[in-house]
Amino acid sequence: MKKALQIPNAPAPVGPYSQAILAGGMLFVSGQIPLNPTTGQLEMNSIEEATHRVMKNIDALLSEAGLTLDNVVKTSIFLKDLSDFQAVNGIYASYFQGVPPARETVEVARLPLDVNIEISCIALANG
């Protein structure tokens, strides 16, 4: 059985997908981009600003499910330019104070709405 999460504190999907799916004791969070859910504007003046916005969007979805970033076991980071890796890595690390999740970071040719970063994750909802 699966349950879709749709909340106003994270950007509405820009396609036919759910913001997050709760299934089998796990929360699968769709890729989040630096879209501010309140203003509907992209926050991309810098990779640092974009990364903070993406992490805030992820945190809002986790919170709706009663979870925190400590529940995250896996992330996937997609960057338009891998030379942004160090800046993203520093900000990303500040959000994971305990044991950081497993992850991969890859450079991609293009992302939705021509953003410079997208992050998805999987979190444990039970345990």
* Per-residue pLDDT reduced to its tens digit, 87-110: 999 999 999 988 999 999 999 999
User: What is d(CA 76, CA 58) in angstroms, rounded to the nearest whole number?
Assistant: 12
Kindly compute the dihedral angle of the four CA atoms of residues 100, 5, 7, 46, in this order, to the nearest 10 degrees: 40
Query: Tokens at residue 44, please?
Result: 């991309």
Average pLDDT over residues 53-72: 94
Structural domains counted in the chain: 1
C-alpha distances in angstroms, 96 versus 39, 40, 92, 107, 116? 26, 26, 7, 22, 21
To the nearest whole percent, how much of the chain has pLDDT over 90?
74
CATH number where 23 lies: 3.30.1330.40
Q: What is the pLDDT, as a whole number, of residue 18? A: 85
User: Could you tell me the two tokens for 95?
Assistant: 């959000």
| List of residues 6+ apart from 56 with CB closer than 8 A | none
Q: Stretch 61-85: mean pLDDT, rounded?
A: 96
pLDDT grade, residue 127 (50/70/90)? low
Instruction: Find the domain containing 100 and state its range.
Output: 2-124
Residues 69-83: what's their mean pLDDT? 98
User: Would the pTM count as exceeding 0.85?
Assistant: yes
What is the pairing mode between strands 102-107 and 72-79?
Answer: parallel
When the pLDDT of each residue in the chain is averaged and rounded to a whole number, the result is 92
Question: Tens digits of per-residue pLDDT, 1-23?
Answer: 888 877 777 777 777 888 889 99
Closest among 38, 47, 41, 46 to 78, alpha carbons compared:
47
3-class state of residue 27 by DSSP:
strand
